[in-house]
Chains A and B, each alone.
Chain A
Amino acid sequence: MLQRSGTGFGALALQAMLAREASGKAKAPPLPGTAKRVIFLFMHGGPSTVDLFDPKPLLARDSGKPFPLKAPRITSHKSENLLLKSPWSCQQHGQSGAPVCDLLPNIAAIADDLCFVKSMHCSNSRHGGALLELHTGSDTFTRPAMGSWINYGLGSENENLPGFITINPSGSHGGAGAWSSSFLPAKYSGTRIGGKSGEMKVPFIDNPLHDRAKQRKELDLLASFNREHLVQRGADSELESRIASYELAFKMQMEVPGVQDISSEPAHVKKLYGADVDPTKSFGEQCLMARRFSEAGVRFVQATHRYWDSHGNLRKEHEKLSAEMDKPVAGLISDLKQRGLLDETLVLWGGEFGRTPTAQGKDGRDHNPHGFTMFMAGGGIKPGTVYGSTDDYGYYAEDKPVHFHDLHATILHLMGIDHEEFTYRYAGRDFRLTDVAGKVVKGIIA
């Protein structure tokens, strides 16, 4: 049902596409889904989840000793594989007793809203490869981003807004590859906006030097010329669509600036996100912006926090990063919950990989794609859950491993899409977000 053709994109397909665009209605998901929207809080660089969420008594006990299991064949850096205990401690929180590091008191306080998947793993030990695999399912070739897939599958909830917005994304390690629609139509591509308050704007949404009333005058004359042209040329759905596209753009201009204006938020909300003071101000503003876009009907919003790549200086860097990230993330989830939006909004938190329980130097950890933690909230996820586990030292996903493909399958499932049926034909092949892999993780679904 969701299969469409990427080739021979004829007038009929275009008409159908534009009819949907013009109607402003979303396609109903083919299966009953619980999540309507996704907010992805991406921790670029690879946070040390073995420190943040996955405490291991044996790691603390054997610190300084060689890692007793077999080290991976491929690693990012050469290492003597000596274990390094966490500089911090974790306490159990909420009814689930999920361990959360002392660096994250606000996230700890909402532990019962969260579902921790502690057996994540992926296939690439480098930032670029792992980041692309997380965002697109492939660390080898250019593929559409998951936000593009989801918009292609479900359509827009609000045609006056882009369906996929990425705030402050990384320009390196994949760059636009992480939000590109690739072979899916360009309209499903992510819209990149900056991370500072003045830069969080949809491109070309306004021209500050241009007067709105005068622009309206121009558009009226344009519409008149275009209609005359259409009369002379005879029926042509594409010409008609283009005439309509200016009206749609004008409506976007009216609506988007209001959505992207976080200054209108009351002080107590800004405070909840930490968007009022440093060190939480920057990411707090981004999380608040993410909620505003999501609330207005943007299917997939991503905010990126960086840079968690602590090969050295782990203690200082992770303390600083945690302090910037903890309150905004907890604030966003609490705010969604208060507004009754959490049930239909899936919040996903995580990096492209985690970090090794072994040391790099005296105060650092290397990339670890073999076992790490991500957490989710809302959108039909079972709250207060801890799912899967790593080995006794926190290196490899051991019990119930969840690959990025499985994560993608699960996200699609929550949105009412069967990842095996959801294909797009391009260059003679039917492509899926999950390629030939992926299993829905039933154990984390409410």
Chain B
Amino acid sequence: MMFHRIIGCLGLAAGSLLGAGDDWAFSSVKNPPLPAVDTIQWAREDLDHFILAGIEERDSLPTKAAEKRTLVRRAYLDLHGLPPTTEQITVFLQDEREDAWKRLIDGLLESPRYGERWGRHWLDVARYADTNGMDEDIAHPSAWRYRDYVIAAFNEDKPFDQFIVEQLAGDLLPAKDLEEKRTRTVGLGFLSVGPKMLACDDPDKMRRDIVDEQMDTMGRAFLGMTIGCARCHDHKIDPISIEDYYGLAGIFMSTKTLTKYSVVAEFHEHNLTEETHQKRWQDVRRLEAVRKKKETPKEEKERLGNEIAILKKDLPAPFKVMGVTEYPTQNVKVHLRGDYLTLGEEVPRGVPSAWTDGKKIAMPGKQSGRLELARWMISAENPLTSRVIVNRLWRWHFGRGIVPTPDNFGGLGERPTHPKLLDHLARRFVESGWSVKAMHRLMMNSATYRQSAQADLALLEYDPENKLFARWQRRRVESEVIRDSILMKSKRLDLTMGGSMLVVQTSKYVDRGHLDAHSLVPRRTVYLPVYRSSGYDGQKAFDAADPAVPDGNRRSSTVAGQALYLMNSGLMHESSRALAEVMLAATPDQDSRARTSWLIKHLLGREATAKERLQGGEFVESYGDEKEAWAAFSRVLFSSNEFLYVD
């Protein structure tokens, strides 16, 4: 009975479901008028009207705006994932122009630090990893190009519709030159970097499992839909039938992800090396083979060595891109109960008809249909994609989605708290040409965004989850932000962008022994190789995304392991010592109270209180060795709630 297994979906009593049978997500995007509100002067952007209407409906009030000092820190952490420097804070506080806030946001969006921060959000959804994990932890040596592509896409404000098409079908788009071909092909990493069982004795099962994972990730990432359930039976909740599933599966079965489906499998890579370089590489390999032969005389070996060295001089490494490609097209038969050994009717490739309101999306005879699927995904007839994306952006800014389950807009997800706002934003997003930066400006310029976290007690009790968005939700910064901030504030952060730190070749096993060495490299955390089989202890403790599943809604836990990390890790001790030295160099001949003030301003972005100056002085004097004492004091501030939370 081996492999005759179904991928189980639990039958749920329909009565227990929220919104079962209600397909709000599939209804067309409306253009709702701005609701009437009483305190209209509060609103700064149209979106504020929708929030305010909800607040007023419950006879409540929005929370007052946060102070400028709070806002500047919030904006830096939100857009860059790094806190502001003392100078950056001062510049903003002294800018009294009416549009100082807008200018700040514009400036932050111009910095490459922005793409590193927001690209990482998307990498959570794309379940990005540099290694396969699962049963065989084989390297994805060129996956980093996809990571860098995502960072660049955010930095360039690549229209998100184009970003989607490239990730699903970049290889099928025309390209005017090699450079464009490369950019478009790199996006395909999205489909390829998923977790796979690579040692499977049954290649048919393996292919179907890979297709299932790709469809599931695509469905959640762009449509907020879980598709996997329909592998075995009609989806019990959402409108996707088993025929729909296998119609869609036909597109992905006509797509090649691996070059070898036998144990151990290998990934497909596009070789986009420039032609002349390609030729030189071929020559290099040919000569190297001759040189390796035993019978080649010593002098000849030396001569070949020289020749190879000349050929390799200034020769760029081959340009390989991990990504899918086309297979001969095929339609798939329905697998009864998900089992490919008991087949039903053949289903033509296509986009599920429930998604297209019954309309048939024509599939080409000689292509998989990925491009047609991608084009439908971004078309005006599809109401899901734009809603899903703006909701993701909202979630990352506000800590909670308008639809609180950003990866699931289906019947088993939660319903939007502000459906009209969602449509309003989706419409604005499409009108802006799918500009993510335009959405940042809109959301961050709103009065909703600028509220203080220090809300009325009654409001906190009435709305602990902040469903009304009537205040700023104070929250802990993410794992990457903790590490990057500590490195930055101790002046250790290396801002080199891009490239790979992996030291293995295609289809070779990675060595987890390298993890410690990787984590010591003081570059931004987004550039540390992601080993799916084993995260970095410090990152895992703070809820870093699990790269095995798409996750647009990271959780934020509070556990003792986090405290242990901050108390005892090498990162913390080395950084606090480095900061002590930086501080001592910056404050020669000053007393311990002045130094306390310097550190508090440097790390927390505010003046120290008299009490803190006193406490700092006493602490240092009673601690022992002066430098160690300042390192210890730095550790205290690095570990403080004020440093770890964004107000």
Give chain A's interface residues, CB within 8 Å of chain B: 7-12, 14, 18, 21, 72-76, 123-129, 131-132, 139-142, 162, 171-177, 180, 182-183, 185-187, 189, 203-207, 209-210, 214-215, 217-219, 221-222, 224-226, 228-230, 233-236, 238-239, 241-243, 245-246, 248-250, 252-253, 369-370, 423, 425, 427-432, 435-437
Beyond A140-B197, A207-B568, A236-B474, is A174–B404 a contact (Cβ under 8 Å)? no
Beyond A205-B564, A245-B563, is A230–B412 a contact (Cβ under 8 Å)? no
From residue 146 to 197 of chain B, which have CB atoms closer than 8 A to chain A? 195, 197
Indicate if the CB atoms of A126 and B540 lie closer than 8 Å.
Answer: no
From residue 447 to 462 of chain B, which have CB atoms closer than 8 A to chain A? 453-454, 457, 460
Verify if B333 is at the interface (C-beta below 8 Å from A): no
Verify if B134 is at the interface (C-beta below 8 Å from A): yes
Indicate if the CB atoms of B263 and A229 lie closer than 8 Å.
Answer: no
Verify if B427 is at the interface (C-beta below 8 Å from A): no
Shortest CB distance B4–A (Å): 9
Indicate if the CB atoms of B2 and A427 lie closer than 8 Å.
Answer: no
**Residues 459-480 of chain B, each 1 if its beta carbon lies under 8 Å from chain A, else 0:** 0100011000000001110000
Q: Which residue of B lies closest to A205 (CB)?
A: B564
Verify if B201 is at the interface (C-beta below 8 Å from A): yes
Q: Which residues of B contact A182 (CB under 8 A)?
A: 546, 548-549
- Identify 29 residue pairs between A and B in the complex whose beta-carbon atoms are under 8 Å apart, listed by A's number: A9-B555, A76-B263, A123-B2, A124-B2, A127-B199, A129-B199, A171-B137, A173-B136, A176-B533, A182-B549, A186-B543, A186-B557, A187-B557, A189-B540, A204-B564, A215-B567, A217-B619, A217-B623, A222-B639, A224-B615, A229-B640, A249-B563, A253-B564, A369-B2, A427-B220, A427-B226, A428-B411, A429-B10, A430-B12
Shortest CB distance B471–A (Å): 11
Shortest CB distance B513–A (Å): 9
The contact of A10 among B3, B464, B633, B645, by CB within 8 Å, is B464
Counting contact residues on chain B (CB < 8 A from A), the size range is: 35 or more
Shortest CB distance B598–A (Å): 16
- In the assembled complex, the Cα of A429 lies from the Cα of B229 at a distance in Å of 9
Q: Which residue of A lies closest to B546 (CB)?
A: A182
Q: Which residue of A lies closest to B135 (CB)?
A: A128
Indicate if the CB atoms of A229 and B642 lie closer than 8 Å.
Answer: yes
Q: Which residues of A contact B624 (CB under 8 A)?
A: 214
Beyond A245-B558, A245-B559, A252-B560, is A204–B546 a contact (Cβ under 8 Å)? no
Known: A123-B3, A129-B197. 12 other contacts (CB 8 A): A18-B558, A21-B560, A125-B2, A128-B199, A172-B136, A175-B532, A177-B533, A180-B548, A219-B567, A221-B615, A238-B474, A428-B405
Shortest CB distance B63–A (Å): 12
Indicate if the CB atoms of B641 and A230 lie closer than 8 Å.
Answer: yes
- In the assembled complex, the Cα of A369 lies from the Cα of B564 at a distance in Å of 41
Q: Which residues of A contact B535 (CB under 8 A)?
A: 176
Shortest CB distance A125–B (Å): 5
The contact of A187 among B209, B533, B559, by CB within 8 Å, is B559
Q: Which residue of A lies closest to B197 (CB)?
A: A129
- In the assembled complex, the Cα of A228 lies from the Cα of B642 at a distance in Å of 10
Q: Which 3 A-B pairs have the closest CB atoms?
A: A128-B135, A175-B533, A428-B412
Indicate if the CB atoms of A235 and B457 lie closer than 8 Å.
Answer: yes
Shortest CB distance A229–B (Å): 5
Indicate if the CB atoms of B567 and A128 lie closer than 8 Å.
Answer: no
Beyond A214-B624, A234-B457, is A436–B201 a contact (Cβ under 8 Å)? no
Q: Which residues of A contact B197 (CB under 8 A)?
A: 126, 128-129, 139-140
Q: Which residue of B lies closest to A77 (CB)?
A: B201
Q: Which residues of B contact A210 (CB under 8 A)?
A: 568, 573
Shortest CB distance B10–A (Å): 5
- In the assembled complex, the Cα of A146 lies from the Cα of B6 at a distance in Å of 20
**Residues 495-520 of chain B, each 1 if its beta carbon lies under 8 Å from chain A, else 0:** 00000000000000100100000000
- In the assembled complex, the Cα of A106 lies from the Cα of B195 at a distance in Å of 42
Interface centre among B543, B548, B611 (most CB of A within 10 A): B548
The contact of B540 among A7, A186, A219, A250, by CB within 8 Å, is A186
Indicate if the CB atoms of B632 and A429 lie closer than 8 Å.
Answer: no
Beyond A183-B549, A207-B567, is A241–B640 a contact (Cβ under 8 Å)? no
Q: Which residues of A contact B411 (CB under 8 A)?
A: 428
Verify if B362 is at the interface (C-beta below 8 Å from A): no
Indicate if the CB atoms of B405 and A8 lie closer than 8 Å.
Answer: yes
Indicate if the CB atoms of A127 and B465 lie closer than 8 Å.
Answer: no
Indicate if the CB atoms of A142 and B195 lie closer than 8 Å.
Answer: yes
Indicate if the CB atoms of A125 and B201 lie closer than 8 Å.
Answer: yes
Q: Which residues of A contact B12 (CB under 8 A)?
A: 430
Q: Which residues of B contact A205 (CB under 8 A)?
A: 564, 568
Indicate if the CB atoms of B567 and A249 lie closer than 8 Å.
Answer: yes
Beyond A132-B135, A175-B137, A207-B573, is A428–B410 a contact (Cβ under 8 Å)? yes
- In the assembled complex, the Cα of A378 lies from the Cα of B557 at a distance in Å of 35
Q: Which residue of A lies closest to B17 (CB)?
A: A428
Q: Which residues of A contact B612 (CB under 8 A)?
A: 225
Verify if B537 is at the interface (C-beta below 8 Å from A): yes
Beyond A172-B137, A174-B135, is A14–B564 a contact (Cβ under 8 Å)? no
Indicate if the CB atoms of A252 and B200 lie closer than 8 Å.
Answer: no
The contact of B464 among A12, A217, A430, by CB within 8 Å, is A12
Q: Which residues of A contact B414 (CB under 8 A)?
A: 7-8
Interface centre among B3, B209, B237, B560 (most CB of A within 10 A): B560
- In the assembled complex, the Cα of A14 lies from the Cα of B555 at a distance in Å of 11
